[in-house]
Amino acid sequence: MKLQLTPEEQAMLAGEDGPGVQKAMEIVVALGQIYGAADLVPVASVQVSGVSYKNLGDAGLEFLQEWAAQGAQARVPATLNPAGMDRVAWRDLGFSEEFAQRQEAVIAAYEALGIAPTCTCTPYQVGHVPKFGRHLAWAESSAVSYANSVLGARTNREGGPSALAAAISGRTARYGLHLDGNRLPTAVVDVHCPVSSEADLGALGYLVGRQVKNGVPYFRFAHWHADVTDLKALGAAMAASGAVALYHVEGLTPEAEALKPHSAAQRLAIDDLAPGYAALNGPADKVDLVSIGCPHASLAELEAIATYLDGRQVTAELWITTARTIRQAAEEGGLVARIEAAGGRVVADTCLVVAPVAELGFRNMATNSAKMAVYAPSHSGLSVRFGTMGQCLEAAVTGRWS
Ligand code: F3S
């Protein structure tokens, strides 16, 4: 199929809007040709990943600076994924001066490109909430899953450069999840066991993601006791274990009614979450770092944590990662002071997968995030314990997993 471009897109590709826009169009068009797209589609917004200097290095930083020097600018609202450190408290948290300088240079390059330095993987919690049916170009697998599934917007799993190219050109290639037919369920998942926490949804997501790989699961829950906001944990887990970018939940998500499963869809039955918990748990009993906030914590989660910690004191490091604006709201509401009084830290702008945490001396992590449990061993060299927020906070208090 030949990719059709509008006259405006052809002009951009020919360099009429400058070399920075031309480069962006070359990337978008190349992807369209690879994936057999018929045309491009304007995007309503972009979420850009690839922000941590730990992952980008000097080569990535120079690539961004060169693109910015060509005068390229985002032409649609665009936000940024977590960076490699808290931009305010990095020194207190043990990050080096050199790392901090390079990290700030990366963020400055993105700002020069017109990307808002939100530094969060939950843009939908800080005002970047796409409308149903809108086409997006979002990177960050958990955010992609949330945008597609919970909000009903349309985005493929973009990479860092392709998302940036979409921001600068205002376009993405129309293929994959931009097309109606690819949003139909490929698997029906009947969940017979009770699901009552973000960790249960994480364990479930881990199990399902491994079985439906790249597919579109359609969940039917027999005993749903979780909060709808916990769906971010389900999507993040499936994104990590099976590259799932869209799912539907009967009676909950916005396309579930219209996109009923076909009779040929794969059938799965989940009777027990224990295999998910077992697969995500390492053997270590000692815990020196507790991570909550993957995906980034909401204000409600910070409230629950502060309430749990009132009158307690942690012995392990407790890092709750969140967006800067959520941290500010939590500070104004007194939540940060309550968490800090117990010895915990509310860390903004970063996450424990993209920050150089192994260099900070941590070895054994506890987390309530299945995504973190999947990535921390390989990305940060940490041994992981996985369980509910309550179990993790108890481990932060005792320094042991029980
Ligand atoms: Fe967000 Fe990092 Fe988890 S980007 S989803 S906190 S791995």
Q: What is the pLDDT of residue 360?
A: 85
Pairing of strands 248-249, 136-138: unpaired
- Of ligand 1's listed atoms, the one at least distance from the Cα of 375 is 7
Spans in the chain with pLDDT lower than 50: none
Nearest Cα residue to atom 1 of ligand 1: 295
Where residue 133 falls (left for φ over 0; alpha for ψ -120 to 50; beta otherwise) is left
pLDDT the model gives residue 196 = 93
Q: Which helix (H) or strand (E) holds 218?
A: strand 217-221
Point out the ligand 1 atom lying closest to the alpha carbon of residue 236: 5
**Beta strands in 68-154, from DSSP E residues, in sequence order:** 78-80, 136-138
- Report yes or no: 46 and 170 within 8 Å, Cβ to Cβ: no
The helix-helix angle for 370-380 and 231-242 (nearest 10°) equals 40
User: How do residues 112-146 score in pLDDT, each as one tens digit?
Assistant: 999 999 999 999 999 999 999 999 999 999 999 99
In ligand 1, the atom with minimum distance to the C-alpha of 121 is 1
Residue 20 CA, chain-centre distance (Å), reads: 27
The alpha carbon of residue 126 and the mean position of all alpha carbons in its chain are separated, in whole angstroms, by 14
Residue 124 Cα to ligand 1 middle (Å): 14
Q: How far is the CA of 122 from the centre of ligand 1 (A)?
A: 9
Q: How much distance in Å is there from the Cα of 343 to the middle of ligand 1?
A: 23
- The pLDDT value recorded for residue 380 is 83
CA of 19 relative to ligand 1 center, distance in Å: 33
Report the amino acid identity of residue 3.
L
Among 55, 146, 294, which residue has the most ligand 1 atoms within 8 Å of its CB, making it the best to mutate? 294
What residues contact residue 193 under an 8 Å CB cut-off, 6+ apart?
222, 223, 270, 271, 272, 273
Question: Residue 380, SS3?
Answer: helix
Q: How are beta strands 187-191 and 217-221 bridged, if at all?
A: parallel
Task: Give the full edge-to-edge strand order of the sheet including 136-138.
Answer: 78-80, 45-48, 136-138
List pocket residues of ligand 1, CB cut-off 6 Å: 81-82, 121, 142, 236, 294-296, 321, 351, 353, 371-372, 375
pLDDT at 195: 95
pLDDT score recorded for residue 304: 97
Q: Which atom number of ligand 1 is nearest to the Cα of residue 372?
A: 7
Measured CA to CA in angstroms, residue 145 lies from 36, 174, 220 at distances of: 23, 18, 18
Please name the residue whose Cα sits nearest to atom 6 of ligand 1. 294
Per-residue CA distances from 248 to 31, 124, 130, 268 (Å): 27, 18, 17, 14
Instruction: Give, as one character, the DSSP assignment of residue 253.
Output: S
How many Å apart are CA 180 and CA 40, to the nearest integer? 15
CA 75 to CA 232: how far, in whole Å?
Answer: 28
